[in-house]
Amino acid sequence: MITVILTCWKRFKHFEDIIKQWLNEDEVDEIIIWDNSGTYKLPILNTDKKIILLNCSENLGASVRYSLAGIAKNEILMFADDDVQIFKGFCKDLLNFYQEDRLIGIHGRNFKGSFESGFNNEVLSYQISEAQNVDFVVGFLMLLNRKYLLGINYHEFPKYCCEFRLQSEWKIRNYGIKTIVIPTLKWQNYPEQYDEFALANNPDAIKEKEFIYKNYYLKGVMIENG
């Protein structure tokens, strides 16, 4: 079974529908919601599945969600954002490729020898017919075993690009985890609800990503290559 960990930040227009979509997945029996706005109230839902809501009055960014691995009841975790719609069978599609040493996503990126002021060479699930290895899985929908998330000090993590930092550290620690994108059509983004205060819009984000690339990712690649 799967624990779904949802992070939200004031994008509540579709959020009840998103929760119901995850509840409709047979493989999901627990949902943990981290609300970075401190204002979300859980609606009354007709379900016997476990739902935990945690409200925070400070926007701690996306990295806080990985610390929730410690309270999840399942070994397999699904991380999802508050603006992504899934369709019936999405979890099954990902589980078809699941192995303990895999981080599975629907959007990945590769580098071509340099940072080039950002990421290059995108891989999207609806553009491929077979699973592809990628340098980095984008975190808005991804599945992995929780053991890789335990014992990490998330207070040291950046607010803007935590998934990249996390996956870079796995390389440095030589965990042997494989980052892959799998083919599936069973998801789509809701129209973006623009928020000028969203962390992704911070001008320091791109600088932080380049720092991680140079100081973590490249170091991990060197370790992997001996």
| Tens-place pLDDT, residues 9-60 | 888 889 999 999 999 999 999 999 999 999 999 999 999 999 999 999 888 7
Dump pLDDT digits (tens) for 77-98: 999 999 999 999 999 999 999 9
pTM equals 0.91
Q: Residue 86: its pLDDT value, please?
A: 98
Domains of the chain by range and CATH?
2-224 (3.90.550.10)
Share of the chain above pLDDT 70, in %: 92
The token duo for 215 is 């100081």
Q: Residue 167: its pLDDT value, please?
A: 92
3 state SS for 45-107: CCCCCEEEEEECCCCCCHHHHHHHHHCCCCCEEEEECCCEEECCCHHHHHHCCCCCCEEEECE
Helix, strand, coil in percent for the chain, rounding step 5: 30, 25, 45
Calculate the average pLDDT of the chain.
Answer: 89
